[in-house]
Homo-oligomer: A and B are copies of this chain.
Amino acid sequence: MPQDAMLRRISFYADLSDDDIARIAEMDGRARTFERNTEIIDAGQKLDCVFIVTEGWAIRYKTLEDGRRQVLNVLLPGDIFDLQVMVAAEADHSVLAVTDVGTWVVRPETFEGLLTQSSSLSCAMWWMQVQEEAFLREQIMRNGKQTARERIGHFLLELHRRIRIAGFGKDESFRMPLTQSIIADALGLTPIHTNRILRQMQRERLIERDKGWVTFVDAERLADICQFDPSYFHLDAMRSRLGRRV
């Protein structure tokens, strides 16, 4: 069911009642799929619906007039975008399907209804929002003050953790469909340099790459090198609030 990804994700942020689950399952909306390499949202377009990623990877990005592209963030299954639609804003950036992407499209009123009806759902949405903003801040930190090597390691560790939260991947590895060009555009590097650093990290046995999978050989050492401190995920706060492991 297309709402599964959303359910799985929201359960991570809040304890849902049976009513909540029913509300999400019966939520009015329609499925819409996007082929890989197609635009889901174009910068400048009027936003009129909330999207929930049910499947696949997408990227938010901005382009400068001369074509330079900056990837802002990665969207994974369970991610919701954009709550901006609530104030009828225009998109100030674009969203591109990196793989084939499945979405569930919901009218803002429907979504708003969901939030006002259930304080658990509303709270979960706040958490997702807080986390998303934290990702943006961490992205600024990484690209502003870290070396290419640190950026790439940090980025991979973040993605791994997010993929695990979304319910995919394994303990030390995950499928990573982003091209080196996309990684480069996310981290403010050239694809060439990104490639060199990735190869170097393999040579140093920090990571392994095979058929689109990334494996951390020694995640702790890597986290140490990159100064990856996952406190910005706010998992502790959620844990203590919910009284369970997250």
Give the interface of A toward B (CB within 8 A): 44, 60, 62, 64-66, 68-70, 72, 84, 86-90, 92-93, 123, 126-127, 130, 133-134, 136-141, 143-146, 185-188, 227, 229, 231-232, 234, 236-237, 241
Contacts and interface: CB of A to CB of B under 8 A. Distances in A.
10 contacts: A62-B137, A64-B146, A65-B229, A68-B146, A70-B144, A84-B133, A89-B234, A90-B231, A92-B137, A140-B140
A187 B143 CA distance: 10
Contact of A65 (B185, B227, B232): B227
A141 B186 CA distance: 9
Sorted nearest first, the 3 A-B pairs with minimum C-beta distance are A144-B188, A92-B232, A136-B136
B90 A234 contact: yes
Contacts of A93: 137
A188 B136 contact: no
Name the residue among A64, A137, A186, A229 with the largest chain B CB count within 10 angstroms: A137
A229 B62 CA distance: 12
A93 B60 CA distance: 23
Contacts of A133: 84, 133, 136
Given A130-B84, A133-B133, A141 B227 contact: no
A170 to B, nearest CB: 27
Nearest to A65: B227
A126 B187 CA distance: 29
B237 A141 contact: no
Given A88-B241, A90-B231, 18 more contacts: A44-B231, A62-B138, A64-B146, A69-B145, A70-B140, A70-B141, A72-B137, A72-B141, A86-B126, A87-B123, A88-B237, A90-B237, A92-B134, A92-B137, A133-B133, A139-B140, A140-B140, A143-B188
A143 B71 CA distance: 12
Nearest to A144: B188
A64 to B, nearest CB: 5
B145 A68 contact: yes
Contacts of A65: 227, 229
A95 to B, nearest CB: 12
A60 to B, nearest CB: 8
Contacts of A138: 62
Name the residue among A127, A144, A186, A229 with the largest chain B CB count within 10 angstroms: A144
B89 A130 contact: yes
